[in-house]
Structure 1
Amino acid sequence: MKSLGMIFLFVLAVTSTFSNGVVIPQFPLEQDSGGFVMNTHNVHITVEDGIATVIIEEEFENTSTRLLEAVYLFPIPSSAVISDFTMKIGDQILKGEVLPADEARKIYHEIVAKMKDPALLEYVGTQLIRMSIYPFEPGERRQFFIEYSQPLEISSNSYSMIYPLKIDSFLSAPIGSVSVRISVPLQIAEVYSPTHPFVETTGVSGREYVFIGNDLIPNSDVALVLTSSEDEIPSSLATHWDESTNEGYFLLTLIPRIKEEIVIPKDVVFVLDISGSMYGEKIEQAKRALEQVLQMLRPGDRFAIVTFDGRVHNLTGSLLDASEKAEWIEKVRRIQADGMTNIYGALQTSIDMFSKYDTGRFKALLFLTDGEPTEGITDIGRIISDATPEARARNVHLFSFGVGTGVVAELLDRLVQENAGRVSYIIEGESIEAKVTDLYRSIETPALENVTVSIENLDVKKTLPEGPYSLFSGQALRISGIYFDEGDMRVTVEGTRGGEKYRYEYLFKTSKRSDSPFIERIWAQKRIAHLANLYRYDPSLTEAEKDELKLEIIALSKKFNIINEFTSYLIAPERVQTYTAGDRGGLGAAPPADSVMAAKSVAEMEQDQFVEGGSSDYTFVDGIGFTLEEGVWIQDDEEVNTLESLGLAAYSEAYFELANRSDWVAKVFALGDRIRFIYKGVLIEISDEGIQTLDELLDALNKQ
């Protein structure tokens, strides 16, 4: 049985924030007989004076072939004030009832035992809105409306909240249409989500940020940070204190809002791989992306276009004024793909097009390829070592796009690390056009270059990412780190714009409040990404030093429940790969697809995106690893193979008693109905057979 437990796990973990409703049939449905699907899930959040008003609209449909009796459940956030909760059937409006935690717990247990799925155990301990649904006719649709208000958590001059979108419930298909819309007043400078790509837009009541998804299977909850606007560079400091380690984590957000009294012109060189492997949809998407970038050029900007296969084609010959872009849009549409891949020549030609002396211009090289170097100089080290000093001499920012699984991740990663840029990996199913244009939109208005950030008056460690940085108008630079006491933090930001120097000073206060746990996870992801790049690419490391990095990556991954394509190599290599590890941190001999996916994971962590999933047969429960082997979730602990097991029947009286005794055990049970784990030194084995009653459980535990 596919476990739904990890979906509900996070919902319970954030009952002080927002939760979604689920429709549960009164009796288990037969396999392949259909079920409940969610057609729409629309959320509108309005923020004013630190209060969020949340309106949720969900539509469920009975796709089974029979009339069903069901119940709609909605966990209530502890600080929320419910103003409306209704179900609509045609013109009929029905209200729900609110149940206390004790009665809710009983309902959860009854449903778990009846449905033979442990997922609902994760709701235990919260209050509950319940509404009975009968009859629910085949093909019928029901709409649910929830409205409530809730004060947001405040830290320095920012608000934070989490909306748990990570739901599967008992749906038999992806959610048809999902939208999360947040409306903010002018006092909010930016809404930032490390988990979902929100787009700023203009709504009926002012500025809005919107996330939209279609046919969506949510795999991450929505984390939001709302930063207030006060200074020329509106900045904020959000913190989270870990009582167990007596240290705190901070997220420093710098958002440039420099008035463009002098528009900074840009030089943009677009370098496009047109080798034979780009033939078809890849080249068409890339051409559309290039066309969109040309359309976005401003007066005073300059551009150049270089394509390459086995040879290098300097199409424009030199940097051209933006006024000539219309003519070149037509020429771009006629580009064709064929030939080999001369990456070395393409980089040398494109970098040489930038002047060393135009200090008042922002210089960006957008480099797109789907393969490895096969023509000209193909040695990766030589390509990087020859391109880097020339790019630095011209102050060029290099942005790489790796398309598909045939690219050399080391080459693209190292190029952007050495040249103040960013890398983006575009795998099957993702849009080249969207990735390129989104990146260009974010760098369209440069604010400050060669930025350094210094932190004084407070002891901080392991700040990431390391500078120097570049800042762009309307975008944020986020720096994470660890602090050890509450107090004043003085931050100095220095950089250049149009050849002029700028300096800004800020004073923040750290605290020992423990109300923003996502901040420590952002830091952990940045730290893992930093260590991963050292592990993979630093040639000066000894094997002993690489082993130390590996151990820290594994420890961070387990502590903060972060598993992805890179960390899975290190945490459970025997379950992820069977080939011999090479000199690149276990990736040197990896198949190209695995290498690219690992690099993609590291790049996403560096760019503040929460990375979910990874290996489908490995997961965490509060930092404890579990692997799925032949349908059984087994705790990743050597003692599992040495202890004598105690059999426990799933969904029995003894099963629920053990779940009630330990929150961690309840979360473990949410993995499925076949599990082997260690509880207080006893190896527990959950299956269809085993002890059933409370007396048997107590007697067995006492004998251990």
Structure 2
Amino acid sequence: MKKMSVIAFLLLMVAPLAANGVVIPPHPVEPGIGGFKMNYHNVDITLDNGIARVKIEEEFENVSSHRLEAVYLFPIPSSAVISDFVMKVGDQVFKGEVLPADEARKIYQEIVAKLKDPALLEYVGSQLIRLSVFPFEPGEKRQFHIEYTQPLEISSNAYTMIYPLKIDSFLTAPIGRVSIRIKTTDEIAEVFSPTHTLKEVQVSGVSGREYIFQAVDFVPSSDVAMVFTASTEEIPSSVATFWDEKAGEGYFLLTLIPRLKEERIIPKDVVFVLDISGSMYGEKIEQAKKALEQVLQMLRSDDRFAIVTFDDGIYDLTGGLLSASEKGVWIEKVRRIQADGMTNIYGALQTSIDMFSRGDEGRFKVLLFLTDGAPTSGITETGRIVSDATNEARARNVHLFSFGVGTGVVAELLDRLVQENAGRVSYIVEGENIESKVTELYRSIETPALENVVISMEGIETAKVLPTGPHSLFSGYALRLSGLFFEEGDLKVTVEGTRGGERHTYEYYFQIDKIAGNEFVSRIWAQKRIALLANIYRYDSSLSEKAREEVAQEIIALSKKFNIINEFTSFLIAPERHLSYNAVVDRGGLGVAPQTTGSVMAAKSVAEMEMDQFVEGGTSDYRFVGSIGFYLKDEVWIEDNPEVEKLVPVKVKAFSQAYFDLFNVDDWLKEVLSLGEKVKFIYKGTLFETGDTGIENEKELEEFLK
């Protein structure tokens, strides 16, 4: 068996798994060798006041006769906050600590060089945990324990939740045992799953209900969808608090649910902006057209619409806003749209936003953006795209909604656009049935409750309330606010906003108490705070270098305090750092760490992972790193560039110090080296080739990087 690249699996890009945790080799294993088996998958879900606490325990076994490298992947909801990570090997339990990312990577590389037993957990997206494990010995069993907290979506008088369970054929056998146990309080009348059969079980002496799904030799075919129906007709607004006695401060989580009666339908102006660039070719453009067609069909008689398409050019197809009565003709025209060219997102947003009037005509203004979100033409800087589009949209009171289509979505861009412009986003991968997602997103557009929302608090002192806005409220959806408080007492929250040009005011009253048992509340606030700081660090061009460093230090300090992983820090499990302890791990293995982890990525999603990395029978022989293509020839990944044949390569030996240094130069090189052990690519005019031979010393490499 050929030696696998350590760094290749460290930054491995995989399909957008809708899966429970899964261990996979970084490259296809040779036939007959075998691979990994999941012996059991146990899940405890506890629901309390609209917050789900999830504990997972999984055991994997190397059923091959060879030492294998492995990547453990675990997708989580984007709203979840990870609170612990544990790996158990035999009788030893190893816990992670938070380190600056550079330090964690350096230690990891040193241990790999010694063939010890490290595990590095890095966030590669807000919806994916990745853990690299090496070596994984023949017959060895390893248990992984993860806990996360997730505020659930609210719809009418029910909470909804998706637990990721589906596995995409990376195991060599079915899961030995699966157990999913759901515990609720008296606030829940019933738990229903349209995808799995849940059995209600009676537990004496415990309030609420328990439901369980169990199976043996199980091959998951879908995620677990759950609907929690409330005991009351409507789910009330609520508050959860946590008091940190040592710090002398508390944290609150407000859930505000507007109950505005639909006395009249607000007419809408909807501008559809459809990406028709070459990256959208094939199934992605077909999905985008279906979404556009479906929303066109849902327009009401008083609505107006316009359609803009873009590649490297911008095309105003309708010539401005049209009456909804003309939608039938345009549905047929949409079906004939084809994809080709580059991606000028900046120009498309500027042109489409300019189609809205600046006056308040009592109409709800919506820009519906359908794209794979990868700008390659015109202005491509994410910060500039978001900033300029936001300035124009706010001047016209435009709400931006987005569908991210396909597995190459740059979700960081789309998420920031909707966050800054009081909208919502939904992601659709190839092959997915988009009807339900389109309907759900459009329901937000159909029932705007309040625009231009201003929130004020009085009664007790509060601080650092997040998110900062702008806010819009939608009927049936909750707005969650998190912040700090310093004393008990009554809190009055006033929510003011407009609907159809009319002003509305709502008042909410909450009792804020010093409660010691809700640590997750502080975790949710810390995640939001770090995400805010990370966006400032990345995109505020007015920051001085000193100010940027101060922002980075606050992020790292919060990360260490709350055990949060992000691009500034990483979880590292390494026996050489004496992080092991002998302990009896309870089901879930999470009784020790009091703090949390969370995503600071401005929401780079699982959908960014390239789907063609793993396909049946092997890997794809053509991939993109950014906008640069690579093809596989004689086990070497070669940049698709005619200059490759003209240049003399600088050879770098894989796994040498020079190789590690090259890997750490920038993010593009990380992705290039993740293609495999042998790669030929051009960087700053120099052709590099990694493989079995070449320079090993970092000083030799330096002269080629100048």
TM-score range, shorter chain: 0.5 to 0.7
Q: Which residue of 1 aligns with 2:569?
A: 571
Quote the Cα distance in structure 2 between the aligned partners of 1:74 and 1:387: 44
Aligned partners of 2:41 and 2:56 also within 8 Å: no
Letter in 2 for 1:263: I
**Whole-Å Cα distance in 2 between the matches of residues 360 and 79 of structure 1?**
43
Distance 1:73 1:375 in 2: 49
Task: Indicate conservation of the 8 Å contact 1:269/1:365, yes or no.
Answer: yes
The question of 1:147 aligning with 2:202 is answered yes
Distance 1:541 1:71, change over 3 A: closer
Q: Report the equivalent of 2:262.
A: 260
Deviations 1:404-448 (A, max 9, x none): 576666754654455333455666776766655433222321111
**Are the aligned partners of 1:19 and 1:75 in contact in 2 as well (CA < 8 Å)?**
no
SS in 1 for 2:202: strand
Corresponding residue to 2:372 among 352, 370, 373: 370
Map of 2:12 onto structure 1: none
Q: Write out per-residue CA displacement over residues 62-117 of structure 1, whole angstroms, 9 at most, x where no aligned residue.
A: xxxxxxxx99999998999xxxxxxxxxxxxxxxxxxxxxxxxxxxxxxxxxxxxx
The whole-number CA distance in structure 2 between the counterparts of 1:172 and 1:505 is 50
Query: Which amino acid letter does the alignment assign opposite residue 538 of structure 2?
Result: R
Tell me which of 472, 481, 488 is aligned to 2:490: 488
Alignment check: 8 A CA contact 1:22 1:72 kept: no
* Correspondence for 1:314: 316
1:326–1:152 CA distance, 2 compared to 1 (3 A): farther
Contact 2:43 2:181 in 1 (8 A): no
Q: Which amino acid aligns with 2:448?
A: P
Counterpart amino acid of residue 180 in structure 1 = M
Change (3 A) 1:293 1:245: same
- Name the amino acid aligned to 2:226: V
Q: CA deviation at 1:513?
A: 2.1
Secondary structure (helix, strand or coil) at the match of 1:548 reads: helix
CA distance in 2, matches of 1:236, 1:359: 34
Distance 1:152 1:239 in 2: 22
Instruction: Report the residue type matching 1:269 in the other structure.
Output: V
Checking the alignment, whether the CA contact within 8 Å between 1:249 and 1:482 is kept in structure 2 is yes
How far 1:478 moved relative to its partner? 1.2
Residues 307, 313 of structure 1: 8 Å contact kept: yes
Question: Cα–Cα, structure 1 residues 273 and 485, in superposed 2: closer, same or farther, change >3 Å?
Answer: same
Tell me what 1:281 maps to: 283
The equivalent position to 1:392 in structure 2, one of 391, 394, 399, is 394
Distance (whole Å) between structure 2 residues aligned to residue 357 and residue 74 of structure 1: 53
* Pairwise CA distance, 1:460: 0.9
Residue 178 of structure 1 aligns with an amino acid whose one-letter code is: V
What is the CA–CA distance in structure 1 between the aligned matches of 2:262 and 2:342, rounded to whole Å? 44
Equivalent position of 2:145 in the other structure: none
Matched letter for residue 570 of structure 1: F
Deviations along 1:500-522, whole A, 9 cap, x unmatched? Answer: 11222222110112343332222
Corresponding residue of 1:107: none
Contact 2:241 2:250 (C-alpha < 8 Å) held by counterparts: yes
Counterpart in the other structure of 2:422: 420
Shift of 1:324: 2.6
Give the equivalent residue in structure 1 for 2:340: 338
CA contact (8 A) 1:11 1:164 kept: no
Code of the aligned partner of 2:262: E
RMSD: 5.1
Matching residue's letter, 1:497:
R
CA shift digits 1:11-69 (9 cap, x unpaired): 7999x999999999xxx997799x9xxxxxxxxxxxxxx9x9xxxxxxxxxxxxxxxxx
1:525 is aligned to 2:580: no
Q: What TM-score, normalized by structure 1, do the two folds share?
A: 0.53
What letter corresponds to residue 266 of structure 1 in structure 2? K
State the secondary structure of the residue aligned to 2:201: strand
Unpaired segments of 5 or more residues in structure 2? 1-22, 24-35, 66-138, 142-156, 160-175, 187-196, 594-706
Structure 1 residues 458 and 324, CA gap change in structure 2 (3 angstroms): same
Show the counterpart of 1:504.
506
Q: Write the distance in 1 (CA, Å) between the matches of 2:518 and 2:40.
A: 21
Q: Secondary structure at the match of 1:364?
A: strand
Structure 2: distance between partners of 1:177 and 1:427: 15
Q: Does 1:241 align with 2:243?
A: yes
Counterpart in the other structure of 2:326: 324
Structure showing greater Rg: 1
How is 1:592-611 mapped onto 2 (pairs within 5 angstroms)? Answer: none
Structure-2 change in CA distance of 1:293 and 1:561 (3 Å) = farther
Q: What's 2:229 paired with? A: 183
Distance across 2 between alignment mates of 1:424 and 1:144: 31
Q: Single out whichever of 353-362 and 387-396 deviates more from structure 2.
A: 387-396
Q: Distance in 2 between matches of 1:73 and 1:414?
A: 37
Does the Cα contact within 8 Å between 1:19 and 1:74 map onto a contact in 2?
no
CA distance in 1, matches of 2:585, 2:315: 69
- State the partner residue of 2:126: none
In 1, Cα distance between equivalents of 2:481 and 2:201:
37
Whether the 8 Å contact between 2:45 and 2:183 is mirrored in structure 1 is: no
What secondary structure does 1:346 align onto? helix
3-state SS, counterpart of residue 485 of structure 1: coil
1:66 maps to what in 2?
none
Partner of 2:473: 471
Structure 1 residues 355-405: Cα deviation after superposition (integer angstroms, max 9, x where no partner): 222430110111223254444566767655654443222211123444457
Q: In structure 2, do the counterparts of structure 1 residues 273 and 250 end up closer, same or farther at CA, with 3 Å as the change threshold?
A: same
**Structure with higher helix content:** 1
1:349 Cα deviation (Å)? Answer: 2.6
**d(CA) in 2 for partners of 1:355, 1:449:** 16
> 1: distance between equivalents of 2:220 and 2:260?
43
> 1:439 matched to which residue of 2?
441
Instruction: Give the C-alpha shift of residue 183 in structure 1.
Output: 2.7
Residue 607 (structure 1) aligns with: none
Partner of 2:537: 535
Indicate the SS of the match to 1:526.
Answer: helix
Sequence identity (%): 59
User: In structure 2, what is the equivalent of residue 545 of structure 1?
Assistant: 547
SS of equivalent to 2:450? strand
Which structure 2 residues correspond to residues 580-619 of structure 1 after superposition, within 5 A? 618=571
Q: Quick check: 1:22–1:74 contact (8 Å CA) kept in 2?
A: no
**Structure with higher RCO (Cα < 8 A, 6+ apart):** 2
For each residue in 1:607-644, what CA deviation from the matched residue of structure 2 results, as whole angstroms up to 9, or x when unmatched? xxxxxxxxxxx4xxxxxxx33xxxxx447x5x77xxxx
Q: How many Å separate the matches in 2 of 1:539 and 1:29? A: 49
> Residues of 1 paired with 2:184 and 2:409: CA distance?
49
Query: 2:63 and 2:382 mapped to 1: Cα distance?
Result: 56
Pair 1:250 & 2:252 matched = yes
Kindly provide the CA deviation profile for residues 328-368 of structure 1, in whole angstroms up to 9, marking residues without a partner as x.
Answer: 22222221112232334322331222122243011011122
What does residue 353 of structure 1 align with?
355
Instruction: Say if 2:344 and 2:377, in contact at 8 Å, map to a contact too.
Output: yes
Report if aligned partners of 2:373, 2:411 keep a CA contact under 8 Å in 1: no
Where structure 1 has 5 or more consecutive residues not aligned to the other structure, the ranges are 36-49, 53-69, 81-141, 154-160, 190-226, 229-234, 573-617, 619-625, 628-632, 649-654, 669-704
8 Å CA contact 1:286–1:433 kept in 2: the answer is: no
Match of 2:625 in 1: none
Distance 1:258 1:321 in 2: 28
CA deviations over 1:251-301 (Å, ceiling 9, x no partner): 112212211223211111110010122110100110111112122223312
Corresponding letter in the other structure for 1:339: G
For residue 541 of structure 1, report the CA deviation from its aligned partner: 2.2
Post-superposition offset of 1:178: 3.4
Change beyond 3 A, Cα 1:283–1:450? same
Counterparts of 1:402 and 1:78, CA distance in 2: 34
Whole-angstrom distance in 1 between the partners of 2:184 and 2:433: 41
**Which residues in structure 2 correspond to 1:22-61 (within 5 Å)?**
none
Contact kept? 2:450, 2:472, Cα under 8 Å? yes
CA distance in 1, matches of 2:315, 2:544: 42
Structure 2 SS opposite 1:248: strand
